[in-house]
Amino acid sequence: MMPALGGLLLVASSALTTRSRWTTLKRRGVNRGLLLLSILMMISCTMAHQPGEAWLGLAHFLPYFWLLATQAELIASPKQLQQTATIVALTVAPIAIIGLGELYLGWSSPPGLAGAIPWPPNPGGTPPGRMASVFGYANNLALYLNMALALLLGLWGSCFRSKRGKSSSNITPTPETVAQPVVLPRVQAVAEPSATQLPNAQSRDADPTAPTTTNSRSSEKETQFIAWLSSWPRSRLLLLWTLLIGLCLIGLILTQSRSAWGLAMLSGLAMAIYWGWTWLGAAVLGFAGSILWAAFGPIGKGPLRQIIPEFFWARLTDQNFSDRPLATLRITQWQFSLDMADARPLTGWGLRNFSHLYQAETATWLGHPHNLFLMLSAETGWFITGGLLGLVGWIFYHGIEVIWAKFHLNTADSYLFFGTLIAFLNTVFFHFFDIPLFDFRINALGWIILSQILGVVYLSDAGNLNLGLTAQLKTD
């Protein structure tokens, strides 16, 4: 019920934005690319091995193309990224508590509330022994926590940087920005940039009477809560983010997802490099290297295995699951996907058709081939897959450009935006080894994060990122 309610709110927000910003939406090159991809995907469905299944598969993509296009228009300031990051960060605590109860206390869905509160139906985790919490499967939870960890690190870095009094890293303050009072900005949940923020007239719709906000009463309360939380003393906020990072790491460990462990290490390493903390980067590399050596080292791994818990290196070597059937191995699924793509390189076999073809070949049912990009190549063809990757890659590249080339963001904002970039990169890398995209919550969050990156890119192109000095948090 609750995920469905959230989905309805997203649909309502996107519909209102489409009506109010239609002229701008039509002009965006990204949106034209999304429209072309949508048409090509529908053409692919008509040529699918099982067209009915293929048309159903569009539900995992086309609505999210629309979500990307519309939600990007609602970014009026980089500060709005703080709202999404904070909401995701705060969910870590209840998710981790439910997961711990699931594993160690035998918690399951409360009687009569299973439809409203999607707690796991199987005490002990899914698969058994692995934390799944409200996501019903360990790998789905693992990706969510990976995204949350990156956003938490961005929030922590932004808060810490503000504490040190750094107002801008690469911009010399102008007299106008110096004259502005340093106040905590009110984060708008869904707001169109004001005229003062968008000097470029072409960045707004021609109709000045069009509605500029789609805030509901709930989003207004949400905004007020974020503003209240941001008014906390820096030390209290740093403690909060630190505790949530710790809970996030505990959850990631207990999911036993090797992909999640690796991405968590890379997120920490990327943040350490960006912050300039070489000691932290060295510590992360040393810890990760020790575990890898204990698992795969050609010599000297015996002593390391006496120090490092077997929980880690045994999971990496997968020695507890050495007798898996050939058809369940990822390498077998990937090879079959490549063969499918080679047989129909232009149109593919149709979305959701992998499972049926794989079962016919191996007598084994699999929901997907554990690699999103190979699945898309097999089901939609190389051209559509390349077009989608190219479009997403273009957005991400220009997001990196905002950080490294244009230097429009002030320091605290840049830390949070960098965390947002890492969160999306985690989503991409995780889909090389599994496909949590079929979970509505994971899919929606991934596209919302990408829409925020695109929204900041739009602001950068319009010259509206340098909005003044970094907001300073209240001193202790």
pLDDT at 30: 97
pTM: 0.85
pLDDT at 227: 76
pLDDT at 137 over 70: yes
Mean per-residue pLDDT for 41-64? Answer: 96
CA angle 279, 161, 420 (to 5 degrees): 85
Better-scored residue on pLDDT, 110 or 297: 297
Cβ(1)–Cβ(440) below 8 Å: no
pLDDT at 451 over 90: yes
pLDDT at 89 over 70: yes
pLDDT at 77: 84
Q: In the block, which residue shows the tokens 């053409």? A: 43
Mean per-residue pLDDT for 117-145? Answer: 87
Q: Out of 31-40, 415-424, 463-472, which region has the weakest mean confidence (pLDDT)?
A: 463-472
pLDDT at 164: 52
CA atoms within 13 A of residue 327's CA, in its CB half-sphere: 12
Provide, rounded to the nearest whole percent, the portion of the chain with pLDDT above 90. 61
Cβ(50)–Cβ(353) below 8 Å: yes
Per-residue model confidence as pLDDT tens digits over 20-34: 999 999 999 999 999
pLDDT at 221: 65
pLDDT at 460: 86
Q: Take residue 259 and report the two structure tokens written for it.
A: 């992909």
Q: For residues 49 and 28, what is the distance between their CA atoms, to the nearest angstrom?
A: 34
Per-residue model confidence as pLDDT tens digits over 211-234: 343 445 555 666 777 778 878 888
Cβ(79)–Cβ(116) below 8 Å: no
Total residue length of the chain: 476
Per-residue pLDDT band for 409 (boundaries 50, 70, 90) equals confident
- Longest pairwise C-alpha distance within the chain: 72
Cβ(75)–Cβ(458) below 8 Å: yes
Each residue of 84-109: b (16+ CB within 10 Å) or e? bbbebbbebeebbebbbbbbeeebeb
Q: How far is CA 169 from CA 221, 409, 436, 451, in A?
A: 33, 8, 37, 25
pLDDT at 123: 86
Q: Take residue 92 and report the two structure tokens written for it.
A: 């870590």
Cβ(114)–Cβ(121) below 8 Å: yes
Q: How far is CA 182 from CA 98, 177, 223, 471, in A?
A: 40, 9, 19, 6
pLDDT at 399 over 60: yes
Q: Take residue 164 and report the two structure tokens written for it.
A: 């040190």
Mean per-residue pLDDT for 410-417? Answer: 85
Per-residue model confidence as pLDDT tens digits over 289-314: 999 999 888 888 888 888 988 888 88
Mean per-residue pLDDT for 159-173? Answer: 51
Mean per-residue pLDDT for 354-383? Answer: 95
pLDDT at 341 over 50: yes
Q: For residues 454 and 462, what is the distance between their CA atoms, to the nearest angstrom?
A: 12
Per-residue pLDDT band for 200 (boundaries 50, 70, 90) equals very low
Q: For residues 130 and 99, what is the distance between their CA atoms, to the nearest angstrom?
A: 9
Q: For residues 81 and 89, what is the distance between their CA atoms, to the nearest angstrom?
A: 12
pLDDT at 371 over 50: yes
Q: For residues 437 and 428, what is the distance between their CA atoms, to the nearest angstrom?
A: 10
Cβ(211)–Cβ(202) below 8 Å: no
Q: Out of 47-51, 318-322, 384-388, which region has the weakest mean confidence (pLDDT)?
A: 318-322
Which of 423, 402, 405 minimizes the C-alpha distance to 413?
Answer: 402
